[in-house]
């Protein structure tokens, strides 16, 4: 019997892998049925295999989870970066918008004195000390018009000096509330020809294009 056991145990691996020929296969099966020791060895062999498979499956599973998490982490980081960029961009847009959402042009009568001009500047600075004020004299206004017709200088010929029909003006950049206040305070000033305000621009358009804005020159009160 012992000798048969040795032979069977030598064959067990091949038997388990299913590589035995019919004759030796039947011999092993017959022996396993009557020999507890060999049957036990064979059973353990299968158990070990199961354990290895289980462990491998677990490792595979963990690897898959890890891979998935890595992918998820990357997606989360990418989304976070995009969100941060959007938030910073929007803050920049709206800070800029709040600061300079509105523009106004204040056209002045030719008869205005330096004191009266100073008074107007005071009203603006009082209302918003951060307002950007640019003064353009009658001569500046004429030159400004000429710059807009560089190919047709004859259109604006003869307006120099005494014949200059273009009014001096202030360009004011400020926030919407301040612009409205300034307009209300100055609307009845006799030395002001007209006030032109531009408000409610789209903040994004304003952010990208405000610096190339060409001042309007319509003068209607």
Structure tokens at 78: 């990418």
For the bound state, the minimum distance from the C-beta of residue 50 to Zn ion, rounded and expressed in Å, comes to 22
Residue 97 burial by CB count (10 A; 0-12/13-18/19+): exposed, middle or buried?
Answer: buried
Q: Which of 12, 38, 131, 178 binds Zn ion (CB under 5 A)?
A: 38
E-strand ranges in the chain read 102-108, 132-136, 169-174, 192-198
Interface size with Zn ion, residues (CB under 5 A): 3
Q: Which of 35, 45, 133, 156 binds Zn ion (CB under 5 A)?
A: 35
State whether residue 30 is helix, strand or coil: helix
State the angle between helix axes of 36-100 and 2-17 in degrees (0 to 180), rounded to the nearest 10.
30
> Bridge-partner residues for 179, per DSSP?
none
CA distances to 79, 81, 85 from 74, rounded to whole Å, are: 9, 11, 17
Residue among 35 and 145 whose Cβ is closer to Zn ion: 35
User: Segment contacting Zn ion (CB under 5 A): 32-40, 83-91, 101-109, 145-153?
Assistant: 32-40
- Spatial separation of the C-alpha atoms in residues 99 and 85, rounded to whole Å: 21
For the bound state, the minimum distance from the C-beta of residue 72 to Zn ion, rounded and expressed in Å, comes to 54
Q: Does residue 5 touch Zn ion according to CB under 5 A? A: yes
Residue among 33 and 66 whose Cβ is closer to Zn ion: 33
Binding characters for Zn ion, 93-132, by CB under 5 A (x = yes) = ----------------------------------------
Residue among 38 and 172 whose Cβ is closer to Zn ion: 38
Residue among 5 and 145 whose Cβ is closer to Zn ion: 5
**How large is the greatest C-alpha to C-alpha distance in the chain, in angstroms?**
135
Residue among 43 and 62 whose Cβ is closer to Zn ion: 43
Q: Which residues bind Zn ion (CB under 5 A)?
A: 5, 35, 38
């Amino acid at each position: 019997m012992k000798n048969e056991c040795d032979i069977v145990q030598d064959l067990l691996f091949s038997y388990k892998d299913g590589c035995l020929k019919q004759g030796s296969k039947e011999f092993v099966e017959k022996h396993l049925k009557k020999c507890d020791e060999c049957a036990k060895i064979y059973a353990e062999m299968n158990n070990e295999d199961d354990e290895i498979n289980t462990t491998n499956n677990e490792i595979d599973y963990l690897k898959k989870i890890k891979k998935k998490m890595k992918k998820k982490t990357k997606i989360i980081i990418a989304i976070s970066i995009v969100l941060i960029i959007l938030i910073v961009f929007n803050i920049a847009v709206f800070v800029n918008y709040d600061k300079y959402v509105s523009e106004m042009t204040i056209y002045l009568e030719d008869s205005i004195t330096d004191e009266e001009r100073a008074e107007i500047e005071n009203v603006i600075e009082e209302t918003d000390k951060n307002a950007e004020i640019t003064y353009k004299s009658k001569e500046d206004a004429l030159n400004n018009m000429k710059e807009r017709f560089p190919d047709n200088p004859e259109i604006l010929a003869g307006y120099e000096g005494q014949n200059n029909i273009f009014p001096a003006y202030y360009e004011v950049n400020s926030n919407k509330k301040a612009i409205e206040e300034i307009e209300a305070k100055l609307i009845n000033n006799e030395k002001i020809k007209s006030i032109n305000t531009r408000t409610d621009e789209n903040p994004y358009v304003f952010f990208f294009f405000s610096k190339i804005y060409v001042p309007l020159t319509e003068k209607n009160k």
